[in-house]
Amino acid sequence: MTEAAPSPIVDSHCHLDFPDFDGEHDAIIARAREAGVTRMVSICTKLRQEPVVRALAEAHEGIFYAFGIHPMSVATEAPVTVEQLVEIARHPKLVGIGETGLDYHYTAESAAQQQDSLRIHIEAARQTRLPLIIHSRDADDDMARILTEEYRAAPYSCVMHCFTSGAELARAALDLGFYLSMSGIAAFPRSTELREIFAATPLDRVLVETDSPYLAPPPYRGKRNEPAYVAKTAAVGAELYGLDYADFARLTSENFDRLFWKAAGARS
């Protein structure tokens, strides 16, 4: 009997250009395909890396990319303008703006610069109609305030990538119509409170991701993460929602298509 092919699923956030993957892209992508990962979004976090990430997307079917300045880098990288973001977004495989956001855990001293950068990225998301990809760590109050202020000024779409913040920020994001993305952290045994937040999140607002090469889910925790392992996180998500894996994979892929409309249209 022929073994059934794995259910198709999307890794909505990975970093294929990071040195951890140097020289292994073909093998990593092949393992992802074997696990059912049909599409991936590789996130570029520095302007000088944009040509590299773009080339990876151009060279492989089903790989798309996003670009933004990571909040932890705003003090050391040249600031990006709305106009630059909009121009880069013209590429057919550029499907999101970011990641951007606020990180007060390691880089609180650049909070003001981070907030300015975040607002620039929000405006680019508005102008391009592409989803904003948010990184948030130890900045729940400012994040909820800025996202809400900006949305009330003019709407935009957004995903809270690798969501690990508190229930109040989750509610604020969901109230604005945004999405929460589940990473390998949600599969860690001690992440009970985080799983409770996702369990209370409408299923049509959930995405899954690896954030690879970081945050590998069990049984790979502590090792290099890669897109194939999104299936392990999705298995935990399916159990959380009381669904078969195939149904959870299908529904989160539909959510991805709705938010990342440009990737849904391209399919290549």
Task: Tell me: is residue 99 an annotated ligand-binding position.
Answer: yes
Residue 15 labeled ligand binder: yes
| Cα 216 to Cα 184: distance, rounded to the nearest angstrom | 6
Neighbours of 106 (CB within 10 A): 11
Residue 105 is assigned to a ligand binding site? no
Q: How far is residue 3's CA from residue 230's CA, in Å, rounded to a whole number?
A: 20
60-63 long-range contacts, Cβ below 8 Å, gap at least 24? 60/25, 60/29, 61/268, 62/38, 62/268, 63/16, 63/29, 63/39, 63/93
Is there a binding annotation on residue 50? Answer: no
Rounded Cα–Cα distance for residues 143 and 131 (Å): 16
Annotated binding residue 135: yes
13 marked as binding residue = yes
Cβ atoms within 10 Å, residue 257: 15
Sequence ranges of the binding site: 13, 15, 99, 135, 161, 211
Sequence ranges of the binding site for a divalent metal cation: 13, 15, 99, 135, 161, 211
